[in-house]
Amino acid sequence: MAGSLDIDGTDEETGDTIVERQLQVLNVICQMIFERSGRIFEFVVDMTGLKQWPYECAKRYIVEMIKLPVSENALQHVKKFYYAEKVIQSEFIRQIEKCCTNIDEITTIQTSNTSTAFDQLSSFISKQKQLRKIEIRSTDALTNLSPLTRYLHQHRCSLTELVLSVGILDENALESIRECYKLERLTLHRIPLRSMHLRPLANAVFNNLRYLYVGEIDETWNVKSRDRPNNELITIIKLAKDTLDEIHLNVNLKYYSGLVKTIAGHCHKLKTFETCIQSTDQIQELFSLLKISQSLQTLSISRRWNNVLFQSYRCILGMVNHIPNTLRRLDLKGMELGVSDVKMILDRCPHLMYMSWKCENYEREYENVVRKCAEKNARRVRKFGSKKLNERVRWMMEVEFEE
């Protein structure tokens, strides 16, 4: 019979804390699940929210649980593995590696790491037979993600998606990806990139590349213009051979001249485009893209670096004249629109399901225009929202339609 718990949360008979007792119970429950299910296809371990003492206890118990024969039998069928922890535990990864070799998707999130732990995780990645997706996210901008890309060439016949978010890379870290010819989705987020980093990818051909996200890649270092990977990104887009249908460029286009123009000339099947604009010169480049984008369904224009919102009538009128009527989602958080601007856009885009914009002052007329356009196109306004952004009386407006 279990002993009683005293006021400080310790078992009088065993000396266990409440946390340890809870983990023991959880361990038993997990064992029962493993025994009854027989097969586990998705394994999620998330210990990022635990405080120091529960975290230390949880680390020990989870390793002990994985060592059990019943756990090994159930986990050998895992296809999706999600692992989030403050510091990657080598012993845990070592135990998982023994029973999980047929994983399709791996997602890891960590606050910091040790070289030993990353080497163990890299080995775990290399042991998988048919890895299709790997997502590596860190919360520390100084985390070197390079060891985790070391063996990606072993999955050249299966890897279709790669996500690298927050950290730094060695010069040749992306070399192993150039052989992954089936790659369909590539995300590089908050990783300082120079030309040397993307050079291996510029010499590769990704005939199946459909999704490209490049964001905040030049903000950690004071990278000179000649070191930015502009030419490499242009080459990657050109070699994709019209397969790209979704592109997100969260970069300062001031340093990436010709990039949007290249997209306009080569990505004729583009359905989604997101970028940051901060000058009228850049928005003129965007017009050239909109002219030829006959399949575009989502357009997002935001602003960063505290630049002035676009209020130029010439820019807004040009935007309206070039927006394809195929759009279903329009996010103009980087532009300030008047009532007449909103009306022109809604009249031109009868299939629009979502739209957002900024305005200097809230006016009831915005809602009236939105509802009239919805009625004209036989649709209903599902949501009309407005939010005051700052003391300067600038508002964010958004509307959702339904057919």
| pLDDT tens, position by position, 89-122 | 778 888 888 888 899 999 988 766 667 778 888 9
Grouping H, G, I as helix, E, B as strand and the rest as coil, residue 127 is coil
CA distance 147 to 12: 47
| Chain mean pLDDT for the chain | 81
The pLDDT value recorded for residue 116 is: 76
* pLDDT band, residue 315 (cuts 50/70/90): low
So what's the pLDDT on residue 388?
72
DSSP state of 14: T
Predicted confidence at residue 206, as pLDDT, reads 92
How does pLDDT run across 44-74, given as a tens digit for each residue? 888 776 665 566 666 677 777 777 776 777 7
Among 196, 145, 146, 195, CA closest to 166: 145
pTM, entire model: 0.86
- In angstroms, the CA 345 to CA 315 distance is 13
Residue type, position 372, single letter: K
Instruction: Go through the domains of the chain in sequence order and give each one's CATH number.
Output: 246-403 (3.80.10)
Closest listed residue to residue 39, CA positions, set 105, 126, 102 = 102
Q: Which tokens belong to 55?
A: 């975290």
Specify the pLDDT at position 393. 53
The whole-number pLDDT of residue 273 equals 95
Given a cut of 60, whether residue 305 has pLDDT beyond it is no
* Residue 181 pLDDT: 92
26-40, 70-84, 276-290, 291-305: segment of lowest average pLDDT: 26-40
130-169 pLDDT per residue, tens: 899 999 998 888 888 998 898 999 999 999 999 999 999 9
Nearest to 45 by CA among 95, 82, 71: 82
